[in-house]
Structure 1
Amino acid sequence: MGRNWYLLWGGSAISAVGDGIFLAALPLLAAHLTQDPKLIAGVSFFGALPWLLAALPAGAAADRYDGRRLLLTALWVQCALMALLATFHSAHIAFLYGMAFLIGTAENVPRAVGQPLIKATVDNHLLERANGRLFASQAVALQFAGPPLGGLLFAVAVPAPFWVNALTFAIAALLVTCMRTQRKERPQVRPKVAEGLRWLVKHKALRTVTVVSATTNLCIAMTMATLVLFAQHRLGLTNAGFGAFLATLACGGVAGGVLAERLLRYRNTVTVTVVLIPLMWLGIATVAHDLPTVAVFAVVSSFCTAVWGVATATLRQRAVPTELLGRVSSAQTLITWGVQPIGALLGGLTADYFGLLAPWFVAVALRTTVGLICLKPLRAHFSAAALNVHLAASPEHDAAVTFPDASR
C-alpha cells in the first residue's frame, strides 16, 4: 500500500466523519421542524432517491473519465451544498428535501469512482486488507465519531454540524489533490450506461449477493426512517443522546472491518452473518428498552454487516474487469441503495399506522425470508478464507468462489 492509497484512505475517513455528522444532524433538523413521522421519513426518501436516478450515469462517468478529478469535483460540490444548508437551515422542510436530494446526488460520484481507485492503488492480494481497513475507518468516522459530534453540535447551534461537515469535505478534497495517479485515457467509444447492469445480472455470484444486500438496505431504511422518534420516545434520548445511540453501531463495524481478513478464512463466516443480522434486529424490537441493551444487539449486527461488506466488495473487485468496474459497482449501487427511498416510505407509513416498533418486525420477517432463500447459493459462492484471486472475470463464469491458501 503506497502513498496514493493512504491519501485516498485519509480523504475517505475524513469525509466519512462529515457523513456521520450529517447522519445525526439531518433527522434532528427534520424533527426540529416537524414531529410527523411521514414528513420525517420524507427526508430519508429524498436523500436516497438519487441512488435510483444517478447511480448508472455516475458509473459510466467513472469508467470514462479520470476518477481522481471526478472525486475532487464531487467533494467540492458537497462542501458547497453543506454550506448552503447551514445558511438556510430554518427554511421549510421542503427545502430540506431538496438539499437531501442534491447531496445524495453528489454522493453517487465518490461511490462510483471509489472501487476503481481502490483497485488502482492496491495490489490484488492486499484487497481484503485494504477493504477491511476502509470499512473499519468508515465505521469509526461514520458511526462512532461523527454522530455524537453531530448531535452535540446540533445541541449547541442548529447550523453548526453542517458548517463542520462542509469543512470535512474541503479537507478531504485537499488530500485527494495530493494524489498522483495516471490520468485515464478517454475511450474511443462512450461507455454504455446500462452495460454494467447487464453484466451484473448475468453473474450468478454477484447477482445473489446483490439481492441479499438490497434486502438488507431496504430493511435498514425502513427502521432508520423514524429512528430519531424511536430513540426519543422509546429510549428517552436527548439530541446529544441520539448521536451516542448511532455511535453504538460503530463498535461492531470497526471490529468487523479489522477482523474480516482473518475471519474470511473460515468456510461459514459469510453465511453466518446472513442469519445473525435479522436476529439482532428482532432483539432490538422485542427486549431492548434502554440504550445499553440496544447497543449489544447493534454491535453484533454492525459487526456482521462489516464482515459481509468486506467479503462482497472484494468479490466485486476481483470478479469484474477493470474497464467495467465503475459501471458494475454503480449497477449494484442502483439496486442495493436504490431501494432505500422505498424502504423509507414503507418505514414512515408503517410507523405512522402501526407504531414505531412495526418497521422492525417487518424488516425482520422480510430479511429472514430472503436470507434463507439465498443461503444455499451463498454457501456455494463463498467457501473458506478469502476471495479467490483467480476468479475468472466473466459474467458467464459461475463457478463457486474458492479461497486462496490461508498461509499467504
Structure 2
Amino acid sequence: MTQSVDPDAVADPPASSRASLWRDGNFLTMWSGQALSQFGEQITNLAVPVIAVVLLHATELEVGVLNAAGVAAFLIVGLPAGAWIDRMRKRHVMIWADLVRALALMTVPMLWWLGWLQIWQLILVAFVVGIAAVFFDVSYQSLIPSLVKTDQIAEANGKLESTAQIAHLAGPAIGGWLIGVLSAPVAIVINVATYLASFAALSTTRDHEVRRAPEDHEPIMTEIGEGLRWVFGNPLLRRIVGTTGVSNFFSTVVFTMLPLFLLRHLGFTVEALGIVLSLGAIGGLVGAVMTPRIVARIGEARAIPVSAISFSVAALFIPVAAIVPEVAFPLLVAQGFIGSFTVLVYNITQVTFRQRITPPRLLGRMNASIRFVVWGVMPIAALLAGALGQWLGVVPTMWIGAAGELFAALFVAIGPFWRMRELPAATTADADS
C-alpha cells in the first residue's frame, strides 16, 4: 500500500514504557489542552440548558429540539466524516474544530449582551458546535495510536478519561457558581478560552501519523461501507454497539428532561444542579483510576457486561427521586456516582479494545461508524423526549427512559463476554489490511 510522508510527522512514537507517558512532553502537551477544553465544556453543558430554561423560558419541546441540535451532526454527517478524516491528519482536524467551536460559542454572549438572543439562535449554535464536535471526537479517538505505542494505548486512554472525569467533577460546581455570579451567557466565554487553549496545545503537539496517499482513496461510499463492514462484521463490536446505542437512546430521553426536572419540578437552584452533577462525577474519576484493577481482577471481557448491567440499573434512581423528593439530592448524587463509575469502566475497556484491533487506516471510519449509531440515536431520542414531555409530562417521560435503559445491557450481558477473560488482540491479517 502506497503512503505519502507528511513533513510534520515524527519518526517514531514514544518509547514503550508504561511510566514513559509521564515523561513524554508531546503527549502531556496534548493532554493538558484537552483537560482545559473538557473543563470548559462542562460549564457550557450547564450554561446552555440554564439559558434555555431560565432566561428564554423554553418549553419541553424546545428543550428537546435544543438537545437534539447538539448531537444531530452525528446522524447527519457522522459516516462521511469518518471517511474524510481517514484521508486527513487527525490532529489538524481537531485544531480546526476547536477554532470553529470557539467562534460559534462566542456569539451567545454577544447576542445576549445586545439583547437579541432567542431560542432558535441557541439551537443554531448548538448545531454548529455539534458538527465541529463530530470531527473533533472522531479524530480524538483515532489520534491516540499515532501518539503512543500500542501497549500504551490503554494507559493513555485512562489518563485522558481521568482528566475528563476531573472536569466532570469540578466543572459543573464551578460552572454553577460562575453562572450565579456572572450569568450563564458570560460563563460561556470561559469555554471559548479553553477551546483556544486546546487549539494552541494541539498546534504544538507532534504525531507520527502518515496521511494516506491519494491513490489509496476509494469513492466515499465505498470507504463508508468498508468502515461499516469492519464494525458490524465483528460479533463483539456488534454487541458493544448494541448496548451503547440503546443505552444512549434511553439515557438521552432521561437527561433531556433533567434540567426541567431539577430546576422546575424539584425547585433546585442552578448552584445545586451543578453540585449534584459534580458530586456524581466523583464516581467517574474513581472509575477511571480503578479500571486497570477491575480489569486485572475479573478480566477485560467480563468487565464490559458487569459495568453495563450496573449503569443500566442505576438509571432508575433518577425518576425514583420524584417519588421521594425529600431525599432527591443524595439519591441523584448516588446515581451519578454509580453511573459515572461504571460508564468509565465500560468506556475505557471497550474503546481500548476497538483501537487495538482496528487497522490504522480504518480508525476514523471505525469510530465514525460506531458514533453514527450510538450518537446518531440521540437527536431522535431528544426530540422524542421533548414530545413526550409536552404530552405526558417530565416525570413519566423520565420513567420511560429509565425503564428502557434496562434493556441496554442485554447485548453484552447475554453472549460470549462471560466465557472469555481477555478480549482478542488484532490478528496479523487485521494489522496488514
Tell whether the structures are fold-level matches, with TM greater than 0.5. Answer: yes
Return the match for 1:214 from 245, 250, 253.
245
Cα distance in 2 for residues equivalent to 1:393 and 1:214:
29
On the 8 A contact 2:230/2:366 being kept in 1, the answer is: yes
What are structure 1's unaligned runs of at least 5 residues? 396-408
Provide the aligned length of Structure 1 versus Structure 2: 392
Return the match for 2:210 from 166, 169, 184.
184
Counterpart of 2:308 in structure 1 is: 274
Cα distance in 2 for residues equivalent to 1:149 and 1:391:
46
Shift in alpha-carbon separation, 1:64–1:225, aligned structure 2, 3 A: same
Superimposed CA distance per residue, residues 50-81 of structure 1 (whole angstroms, 9 cap, x where no aligned partner): 11112222212221111121111111111111
Cα distance in 1 for residues equivalent to 2:119 and 2:235:
43
Task: Give 1:49 deviation, angstroms.
Answer: 0.5
Say which is worse superposed, 329-338 or 227-236, in terms of deviation: 227-236
1:7 maps to a residue whose letter is T
Cα distance in 2 for residues equivalent to 1:378 and 1:242:
40
Shift in alpha-carbon separation, 1:387–1:126, aligned structure 2, 3 A: farther
Say which is worse superposed, 99-108 or 159-168, in terms of deviation: 159-168
1:66 maps to a residue whose letter is R
Cα distance in 2 for residues equivalent to 1:114 and 1:387:
23
1:49 aligns with 2:72: yes
Cα distance in 2 for residues equivalent to 1:238 and 1:319:
46
Return the match for 1:286 from 315, 320, 336.
320
Shift in alpha-carbon separation, 1:4–1:116, aligned structure 2, 3 A: farther
Say which is worse superposed, 126-135 or 350-359, in terms of deviation: 350-359
Bigger Cα Rg: 2
1:120 aligns with 2:135: no
Shift in alpha-carbon separation, 1:35–1:113, aligned structure 2, 3 A: closer
Counterpart of 2:286 in structure 1 is: 255
On the 8 A contact 1:134/1:257 being kept in 2, the answer is: no
Return the match for 1:160 from 153, 164, 186.
186
Cα distance in 2 for residues equivalent to 1:204 and 1:347:
31
Task: Give 1:96 deviation, angstroms.
Answer: 0.9
Cα distance in 2 for residues equivalent to 1:185 and 1:373:
36
Task: Give 1:145 deviation, angstroms.
Answer: 2.1
Cα distance in 1 for residues equivalent to 2:423 and 2:281:
25
Superimposed CA distance per residue, residues 247-300 of structure 1 (whole angstroms, 9 cap, x where no aligned partner): 233111111111111111214332111212122111222255321221012201
1:219 maps to a residue whose letter is F
Counterpart of 1:356 in structure 2 is: 394
Cα distance in 1 for residues equivalent to 2:303 and 2:398:
25
Counterpart of 2:47 in structure 1 is: 25
1:79 maps to a residue whose letter is A
Give the secondary structure class of the aligned counterpart of 2:407: helix
Cα distance in 2 for residues equivalent to 1:292 and 1:71:
38
Say which is worse superposed, 370-379 or 338-347, in terms of deviation: 370-379
Cα distance in 1 for residues equivalent to 2:313 and 2:397:
14
Task: Give 1:148 deviation, angstroms.
Answer: 2.3
Return the match for 1:9 from 23, 28, 31.
31
Shift in alpha-carbon separation, 1:271–1:19, aligned structure 2, 3 A: same
1:134 aligns with 2:160: yes
TM-score normalized by the length of structure 2:
0.85
What are structure 2's unaligned runs of at least 5 residues? 1-20
Give the secondary structure class of the aligned counterpart of 1:226: helix
Task: Give 1:350 deviation, angstroms.
Answer: 2.1
Superimposed CA distance per residue, residues 19-76 of structure 1 (whole angstroms, 9 cap, x where no aligned partner): 1111100100111202411111111011111111122222122211111211111111
After TM superposition, list the pairs within 5 Å mapping 1:291-306 onto structure 2. 291-306=329-344
Cα distance in 1 for residues equivalent to 2:308 and 2:216:
40
Counterpart of 1:148 in structure 2 is: 173
TM-score normalized by the length of structure 1:
0.90
